[in-house]
Structure 1
Amino acid sequence: MDISVWIVNIVVLASVLGTDLGRREVTKARLLRPAIVAAVIVPIYVKHPATTGTGLALELGGAALGLMLGLAAAALLKVRREEATGKVYTHTGAAYAALWTGVIGARLAFSYGAQHWFTQSLGRWMVEHQVTVDALTDTLVVMAIAMLLGRTGAMAAKRGMAAGRGGQAHALAA
């Protein structure tokens, strides 16, 4: 694993926790920012995506898992419309931060372990299944980006639902 996995994961964690923890307004810029992050990160760090075989399956699986984790994170986002202003806010706390930190910590632990703890067994598995280092690295990067985009898509949907409620005082929990 190379430094790209560390950079992507730390950028995603800092971005998410910095923009989501506590009470935050859901603006167009907040929804657009993750797409910009993905547009910058993917071409830089996903250099040789697998197009066939186990490498492709691994990358697609990483994207699917990332999307599911993003939706799980979004389930922890409470979205409410403020009656007085009509603005929509998210509310997050410790459980949300713990999910993101745990997932990203697990990815980083895997990256470290791949180089220091289970290098030989992982190498044998990669040879047996014809998976390149690039495919494994791409999987971790794609997983992080899919989690970020899954969370953002769900947040946008919740924002639309909350904004459409007009003057109702309902809160949209996960």
Structure 2
Amino acid sequence: MSLTTSLVITITMIVTTLLADRGVRPVGRGRVLRPLLIGGPIALYFASHVVTHGVGLAVEVAGAVAGLLLGLGAVSLARVGRDEATGEVVTRVGAGYLTFWIGACLLRFAVSYGAQHWFGQQWGTWLYLHGVAVQDIAAVIGNAIVFSVLGMLVARSAGIALRSRSVRTAEFALAR
């Protein structure tokens, strides 16, 4: 994956998150799905052929798991509850969430940059020695980064959806 591609994905994730999440926002289908609908196709467009075996697959899965964990970490910093004035389920996102999200995106960009300028040869050698074909090494590294983007978006959307559902369910149970 080129640095330009990585930068486009990073900027897209930061901007869509800032637009979708900052401040107090009502939770609806569009709110939950918008980042997936914008970031998902962009990330998948840049994904190369997926290595479906061995260490190559493990590295790609590790990228997705890292993204899921980062997304869960970010969404844990968002507060979900009812807006007192309207009664709508909303999220309240402050500087901590946004800083975490931006930091995770910049970390991903640093890994992409590092793979090309700092430790790419070592990472490539390690992958080759563990059975990844030479022609698949760049794809494995790029896919791990892309899958971390998707994992973070999925965790963010799922986390907001589940937490908002629990607010609705808890209040329904109290109303009985």
User: TM-score scaled to structure 1, two decimals?
Assistant: 0.86
The residue aligned with 1:118 is: 119
Gaps of 5+ in 1: 169-174
- 1:80 counterpart SS class: strand
In 1, are the aligned partners of 2:71 and 2:152 still within 8 Å (CA)? yes
Comparing 140-149 and 38-47, the one that deviates more: 38-47
Q: Distance in 2 between matches of 1:113 and 1:46?
A: 18
Distance 1:116 1:42, change over 3 A: closer
- Once the two structures are superposed, what CA deviation does each residue of 1:138-169 show, in whole Å capped at 9, x if it has no partner? 1101101111110110100111122231597x
The residue aligned with 2:141 is: 136
- 2:51 counterpart SS class: coil
* TM-fit CA distance, 1:67: 0.9
In 2, are the aligned partners of 1:86 and 1:163 still within 8 Å (CA)? no
* TM-fit CA distance, 1:105: 0.9
The residue type paired with residue 61 of structure 2 is L
* TM-fit CA distance, 1:90: 0.7
Superposition RMSD in Å: 2.0
The residue aligned with 1:172 is: none
In 1, are the aligned partners of 2:44 and 2:146 still within 8 Å (CA)? no
Q: Distance in 1 between matches of 2:173 and 2:155?
A: 28
Q: Distance in 2 between matches of 1:43 and 1:36?
A: 11
Question: Which of 118, 135, 152 is the equivalent residue of 2:157?
Answer: 152
The residue type paired with residue 90 of structure 1 is T
In 2, are the aligned partners of 1:25 and 1:89 still within 8 Å (CA)? yes
Distance 1:10 1:38, change over 3 A: closer
In 1, are the aligned partners of 2:49 and 2:139 still within 8 Å (CA)? yes
Q: Distance in 2 between matches of 1:84 and 1:107?
A: 39
Comparing 158-167 and 3-12, the one that deviates more: 158-167
The residue aligned with 1:91 is: 92
The residue aligned with 1:81 is: 82
The residue aligned with 1:62 is: 63
In 1, are the aligned partners of 2:50 and 2:140 still within 8 Å (CA)? yes
In 1, are the aligned partners of 2:20 and 2:35 still within 8 Å (CA)? no
Comparing 53-62 and 76-85, the one that deviates more: 76-85
Q: Distance in 1 between matches of 2:83 and 2:105?
A: 32
Gaps of 5+ in 2: none
Q: Distance in 1 between matches of 2:89 and 2:167?
A: 7
In 2, are the aligned partners of 1:83 and 1:167 still within 8 Å (CA)? no
Aligned residues with identical type, % of pairs: 36
The residue aligned with 2:20 is: 19
Comparing 134-143 and 38-47, the one that deviates more: 38-47
